[in-house]
A = this chain, B = another copy of it.
């Protein structure tokens, strides 16, 4: 690298918050130095690629920055972790000038400040398409335990935060695929679900405190993510599809309640949290979550049936569906039906 590149890195770095209590050496050395102070760490990596996770120019560059960090932080939320540091690799095509790269940095900074994350390191390289890779480190909070996908037990109630299907509906609006009759606030709210996803950090904390035994973020669609949780925990999940908390306006976008449900099941990117907890903990969890400003809805329960199986109230198997990042196509039973077909890809967390 040479002076031009290092100058740009310095200007990008200026935009980004750094300097939390755990950070001993921040961006600018071979590696950042952090002091976890005895806490267990939760670490995740997420890549966002142009044409797969977003398209230009439909996505403002600031939204690309926001989304890259929000998607990685959503994984930490799903562990009930306290966000710590983020490390960002930016691969930028030559057509993007410095002003554009700073817009991406501003999007990263917006989320980093709001969620109290230090951007402690990074890498910058040329590429033919825009890509961001974000690694995030979070920490176990005193008095809580990090929550994996594997701790659901038969008899647990299945709960989900917030509303589903909004991000996929927002993508359809963004792509101009549909022209539904929506009032302006509803339309804006759906677009924001796609362009300004919010990692449910406080909700994850509340669910961990409330005793959630298993948790996952809804990044690939409720069907796929419930399937992961069921498989990791070795339980069957029964989901009451009538009780899914659908985002306002999703039905108008998807041509009815059934379409909105498909967006919820297969659309992904809602970044809500799906968790299992013992039924006697439900009331306390709802109160805890409401204190954190979120809605919590019980949508089903776990039993000792076939591990990994999802079924509806009528006993019908629900096929986990989701966008296939590797094939560029949707698969599963509702293939090509409800959900958007272009870039509605959840950020995978293998």
| Residues in chain A within 8 A of chain B (CB atoms) | 1-6, 8-9, 13, 24-25, 27-36, 38, 40-47, 49, 51-53, 75-76, 78-79, 81, 85, 87-92, 94, 120-129, 131, 133, 135-138, 140, 146, 148-150, 215-217, 220, 224, 232, 320-328, 330-332, 345-350
Contacts and interface: CB of A to CB of B under 8 A. Distances in A.
Contacts of A138: 31
A122 B349 CA distance: 7
A42 B35 CA distance: 9
Given A6-B350, A128-B128, A149-B29, A43 B120 contact: yes
Contacts of A27: 350
B47 A133 contact: yes
Given A5-B324, A87-B45, A327-B4, A348 B32 contact: no
A332 B122 CA distance: 24
Contacts of A216: 30
Contacts of A1: 220, 224, 322-326, 346, 348, 350
A325 B126 contact: yes
Contacts of A13: 350
Given A30-B79, A76-B31, A52 B125 contact: yes
Contacts of A34: 40-41, 43
B127 A332 contact: no
Given A5-B326, A30-B149, A41-B41, 5 more contacts: A4-B327, A29-B349, A47-B89, A47-B91, A87-B135
Given A2-B332, A52-B127, A123-B349, A89 B30 contact: no
Q: Which 10 pairs from chain A and chain B are nearest by CB?
A: A133-B133, A135-B135, A47-B89, A45-B87, A31-B42, A31-B44, A9-B350, A30-B78, A30-B75, A2-B331
A43 B150 contact: no
A135 B45 contact: yes
B89 A123 contact: no
23 contacts: A2-B224, A2-B323, A4-B331, A5-B324, A8-B326, A25-B146, A30-B148, A31-B79, A33-B42, A34-B40, A36-B36, A36-B40, A36-B41, A47-B90, A47-B125, A49-B127, A52-B125, A53-B125, A92-B326, A123-B350, A124-B325, A124-B326, A133-B133
A44 B32 contact: yes
Contacts of A322: 1-2
Contacts of A150: 29
B129 A128 contact: yes
